Structure 1
Amino acid sequence: MKTDLVKKLKERLLIEFSKRDRSGIYAVTSRELAYNSNKIEGSTLTENQTASLFDTGMLPVSDSAYRAKDIEEMNGHFLMFNHMLKTLDEDLSEDLIKKFHYELKSGVFEDKANGYNIGEYKARPNIAGTMQTSLPADVHRDMKELLNWYKNADKNLATLALLHTRYEKIHPFQDGNGRTGRLILYREALKHDIIPPIIHDANRMEYIEGIREYAEKGVSERMCRLLEREQVEYEKTIIFFLG
């Protein structure tokens, strides 16, 4: 039963996190989420560099310069993932989402220098590609409406696809919306005993098209199909570590 497999995954993630075990599925998952989610947003760090940063806190010697923001956001993603595990028993809320954003962005100098809100909703209008997003004055209302809908919805992959695309259309933060949104997607699947999808950078264009489909048509069928395929890939990782 896949439900039992996810329950075993949840238990193992929490055990390895509590023991600071960096040799199992906790480490692989945290690194894979951080690498792909940041890569989708333009990070220049490689998978090996991400692993080194996670395992040792250091980056290997390189002839190329490292971009400070990439390092800060990678470390921030590790912290956000840890906070997600520590609060897995909580219901999804605006306060919790803001805390995820704070963990991701509190160490990012460039965002602070730009005057971006950290751990709070955006103060300036923004767009995602060509997609218009919620105005700052409307974000609280739109997020409250989204979370009220989600609280009463059946918890399945189609619901998670719609949750994610609606969240990205709101774009509640000045920056970091995709990364917080993809962490929420993983979290809610894990919490509700659904095989979590990890969206890979290799599928970036299909992922963007899935968000665009919701923005233009109000449906999330394309996103759901992508998540189904990403579930299959992550399930292989779960089985490798948990049998």
Structure 2
Amino acid sequence: MYITVNQAAKKWGLSDRRVRNLCVAGKIPGAYREGRAWKIPSDATKPTDGRYKSKEALIPIIEEKLEILKKRRPLTEGELERLNEEFLVEFTYNSNAIEGNTLTLRETDMVLRGLTIDQKSFKEHMEVIGHKEAFDYVRQLVSENAPISEKIIKDIHYFVLADKKDDRGVFRRVPVRIMGAAHEPVQPYLIIPKMEELLERYKSSEEDIVTKMARFHIEFEGIHPFIDGNGRTGRLLVNLELMKAGFPPIDIKFTDRLKYYQAFDEYYANDDISAMADMFARYINQRLDLYLSILD
């Protein structure tokens, strides 16, 4: 869902010109230009200053907001339904679009409601349905506080890859390359030991939740354990762990995909986790603001 510059200006108490300048400067994540008009994500929050905050600056703010949110829980069934329904549409759209799905946000919503879109492939329809079922499964795992494991990762992937029955929930058996990436995924015979190492490191990590999740996500994608569906599965795993820790799920926007790709390259080229951690921190902060504003 997107709003106009004028709507954002009224929402945040700013002038149209100020909001437009913030869009031009890249200070509103997910905002993009369509012709002469700007499209701004409806869940975007008012920028608090002229710069993006780093993960280090946002961690105490995030922790404070999480404590406020915990005090307002449990949410009612209606509140949960509203939050999850709107999030699911945008999360499914963005996560699939990052991987090349051409369904628009509106078309994604229509498919989730059981409709068929003319001139769109069966594969793209199944990607929407599979992602929805995977997120439903993640929510179930959160309610059970299930510890992350190889089986859970394979189960999530099974739902994600709804259009490729022979590859669902199965580690790949052939080498792959990620076009344009600075890192080459491991050879098939190393996938199982590397996944075991990744899970062990994750479980024993004492890093803050943001850095911990950023590192896990990058290294999972670096292993690239499946023939397809790694990105969608990886982003669902991030939300599984965030939600178990009490945070709202996050939705990496299609319009932020270049920054997202660059964050992977920064890690593998320069051993620098900050780009991905900063991105995760900003998204978590925005989602917390949205949840708290709705509850207010």
Same fold, TM-score > 0.5, yes or no = yes
Contact 1:8/1:242 (8 A) holds in 2: no
Structure 1 residue 25 and structure 2 residue 83: aligned?
yes
Equivalent AA in structure 2 for residue 223 of structure 1: M
Given that residues 157 and 233 in structure 2 are in contact (C-alpha distance below 8 angstroms), is that contact kept between their aligned partners in structure 1? yes
Alpha-carbon offset, residue 9 of structure 1: 9.1
SS at match of 1:174: coil
Q: Give 1:145's aligned amino acid.
A: E
| 1:141 corresponds to 2:193 | yes
1: CA distance, partners of 2:83 / 2:199: 30
Kindly report which structure 2 residues correspond to 1:35-50, keeping only aligned pairs within 5 A, or say none.
Answer: 35-50=93-108
Q: Specify the code of the residue in structure 2 equivalent to 1:57.
A: G
Q: Percent identity?
A: 28
Instruction: Give the letter aligned to residue 197 of structure 2.
Output: E
Q: 1:207 to 1:3 in 2, by over 3 A?
A: same
- Aligned-pair CA distance for 1:7: 4.3
1:1-243 alignment runs, 5 A limit: 1-4=64-67, 7=70, 12=75, 15=77, 21=81, 24-54=82-112, 56-59=113-116, 65-88=119-142, 89-105=145-161, 107-108=162-163, 111-112=164-165, 117-129=167-179, 130=181, 131-154=183-206, 155-243=208-296
AA partner of residue 141 (structure 2) = T
Q: Secondary structure at the match of 2:243?
A: helix
Normalising by structure 2, report the TM-score.
0.71
RMSD (Å), alpha carbons: 2.3
**CA distance 1:238–1:210, change in 2 (3 Å):** same
Amino acid of the structure 2 residue aligned with 1:86: Q
Letter in 2 for 1:104: V
- C-alpha deviation, 1:224, in angstroms: 0.9
| TM-score relative to the length of structure 1 | 0.85
Q: Tell me how far 1:186 sits from its aligned partner.
A: 1.4
C-alpha distance 94-12 of structure 1, shift in aligned 2 (>3 A): farther
**Structure 2 vs 1, CA of residues 8 and 16 (structure 1 numbering), >3 Å: closer, same or farther?**
farther
Instruction: Go from structure 1 to structure 2 and tell me whether the alpha carbon gap of 1:191 and 1:104 turns closer, same or farther (over 3 Å shift).
Output: same
Question: Residues 156 and 194 of structure 1 are in contact (CA less than 8 Å); yes or no, is this contact kept in structure 2?
Answer: no
Looking at structure 2, the residues matched to 162 and 153 of structure 1 have their Cα atoms a distance apart, in angstroms, of: 10
| Residue correspondences, number | 228
- Secondary structure of 1:127's match? coil
Q: Which runs of 4+ in 1 moved over 6 A?
A: none
